[in-house]
Amino acid sequence: MALHTSGLIVMVAFYLLVMAIGIWASFKSKRMEKNSLSGQMEVSFLANRRVTLAVGVFTMTATWVGGAFIIGVAETVYDPTKGLVWALIPLQMSLSFIIGGLFFAKPMRDKKYITMMDPFQKKYGKTLTGLLAVVPFVSEVMWVPVTLISLGVTVSVFSDLPLSLCIWISAAVAILYTVLGGLYSVAFTDVIQLSLVFCSLWLCTPFVLASDVYSDLSLTAFNHTYQAPWLGRLDPDDMWRWIDNFLAMSVGNLAFQDFHQRTLSSSSTFTARMMCFIAAGVVLILGIPPVLIGAVAASTDWNMTSYGSPSPYERGESAMVLPIVLLHLTPTAVFVVGMGAIAGAAMSSTDSCLLAATSIFTTNIYKMIRNQVSDRELQWVIRITILVVGIGGTSLTYVDSRVLAFWILSSDLTYTIMLPQLICVLFIKVSNSYGAMAGYIIAFVMRVLCGEPVFSLPAILRFPDGTFEDGVYIQRWPFKTICMLTSLVTIVTISYVTALLFNKGILPESMDVFKVKAWGVLSPPEEAPEYEDDNEKVSSEPMLDSKC
């Protein structure tokens, strides 16, 4: 596409603004390190647990309302093979926050953990926790291309720059300010980014709706006008697959470090829970504009626009439909503002992924290898890990350029493998290391055997009623949920049986490598570090005092 000078100038200005805020926050973070008695990781990963409700809502929402959220929802609504019925990401995110606030925020924040893997370390020990931590770490790395693809698509729409170059430039900016300031930089930039997203999306949407090139949305929702109805359809054969994806992208999000990093960084347990409930409402509000824009795109006669024929779907540009609509259906100034919204949303998610992956690796994998680590060494490990994760995640964009492909796959891993583990370690007392390892292996093996088209993995374990599409076997049964539930049952069953066998003396104590009998099902072989009570901490400057 031709160079859009004003859009490019605004994008550069936005990048510079984000960098400036990130650098300012990094100085604030350095001052906190000097004045705080907390460790290096609490300051870098949790902003010394001083995140207030106002900032918490901003950073919680901004983490999930990324470029993939905005572009992905519009793309799915517009796609004639899917439609609104397959674009329920806002509802899924909202449900995830509500469940997290009701059940997960309190037990995690009360124990003052640093990462979501700390309860595993406390109950199962460092070695097994390090093995389990590989899955959430990989999931976070796979989330990076989700955000960067949407950001690169945005920049490429109004410039002559190739998509890959736009992605790398965007990644470099996010990596730099995340390295500099940790969660402080991420949280403060999230405030600016989400504010821009909220205002920009709701500013652009009325202009899109005011254009005269599309048909009545109430008619095109059900009738085939220019393409299939944008409301979409759910065939009986796809019902179980729809339920499977819905659960994986809602409940499965509770096994992401990003979510727990926000609740754990809050100033109190009450704040942690409230930020979840408020963010649940905000994410629904932010989901309305991309739905409307996708519906307009599906109802547009593209011959009447400067874009012309054929349509974006026929040109293979469905993933770019939101910026295309803003470019061709709104005034230039509105288009520029809309691009800023997408850029802000994408950047806010990218930095969160980098920091979440780094916190998992540093706290639960690297410290397993090196027991004694100085603060200076941790600083360098954090910086190098952010850089490596950023480069590795960005490189994955060459594997698949679809915005939602990695999102679904990343949620898939956390849902099938990590969610049952997290439920058991927090709420099922009988669970032990034997059950955790057995559940981990079962879930991993089953998920691999079910196949994955993105990585050309054939479906060896085929459930009934599947179908072949372009030579690839597509599962119609809810295979992800089956894997998750199988893992959950395995963990509980094996834990109970092994505890019974060792405690009753049926198996000799010499075979009890995880010391289930010696320590009991609730006592860990290696205690996780205890953290001070909030009232014993040296008070530090709060992040944006609020009476909310």
What's 548's DSSP letter? -
Environment class of 115 (CB within 10 Å of its CB; exposed 0-12, middle 13-18, buried 19+): buried
What is the location of CATH 1.20.1730.10 in the chain?
A: 5-397
Sign of the torsion formed by the C-alpha atoms of 325, 328, 334 and 337 = positive
Cα 373 to Cα 385: distance, rounded to the nearest angstrom: 15
Q: Please give the CATH architecture assigned to the domain spanning 5-397.
A: Up-down Bundle (1.20)
Position 171 scores a pLDDT of: 81
Give the torsion sign (CA, 394, 398, 401, 407): negative
- Token pair 């930089």: residue: 185
Three-state secondary structure call for residue 469: strand
211-255 residue pLDDT tens:
999 999 999 999 999 999 999 989 888 899 899 989 988 998 899
Let me know the angle formed at the C-alpha of 114 by 112 and 117, rounded to the nearest 5 degrees: 110
pLDDT at 531: 43
Q: How far apart are CA 289 and CA 299, in angstroms?
A: 15
Separation in Å, CA 349 to CA 56, 146, 181, 237, 298: 14, 9, 16, 34, 27
Report whether 457 contacts 451 (CB < 8 A): yes
| Contact call for residues 203 and 337 (beta carbons, < 8 A) | yes
Whose structure tokens read 């309305």? 288
pLDDT score at 532: 43
Angle at alpha carbon of residue 54, lines to 541 and 269, rounded to 5°: 80
Give 266's strand partners: 51
Q: Which residues contact 491 (CB under 8 A, 6 or more apart)?
A: 420, 421, 424, 428, 431, 435, 436, 438, 439
Q: What is the pTM of this model?
A: 0.86
- Residue by residue, pLDDT tens for the chain (548 residues) are 455 676 677 777 777 777 787 777 777 767 766 665 556 677 778 888 889 999 999 989 988 887 778 888 999 999 999 999 999 989 999 999 999 999 999 999 999 999 999 999 999 998 899 999 999 998 888 878 777 776 676 666 666 667 677 778 778 877 887 777 666 677 777 787 788 888 888 999 999 999 999 999 999 999 999 999 999 989 888 899 899 989 988 998 899 999 999 999 999 999 999 999 999 999 999 999 999 999 999 999 999 999 998 999 999 888 889 989 998 999 988 888 887 777 766 766 777 888 889 999 998 999 888 877 777 888 888 889 989 998 888 887 776 555 556 666 777 889 999 999 999 999 999 999 999 999 999 999 999 999 887 677 889 999 988 888 877 888 889 999 999 999 999 999 999 999 999 988 899 988 988 888 765 544 444 444 444 444 334 344 455 444 43
Query: H-type helices in 211-238, by residue range?
Result: 217-220
Q: Among candidates 314, 276, 326, which has minimal Cα distance to 70?
A: 326
d(CA 261, CA 70): 23
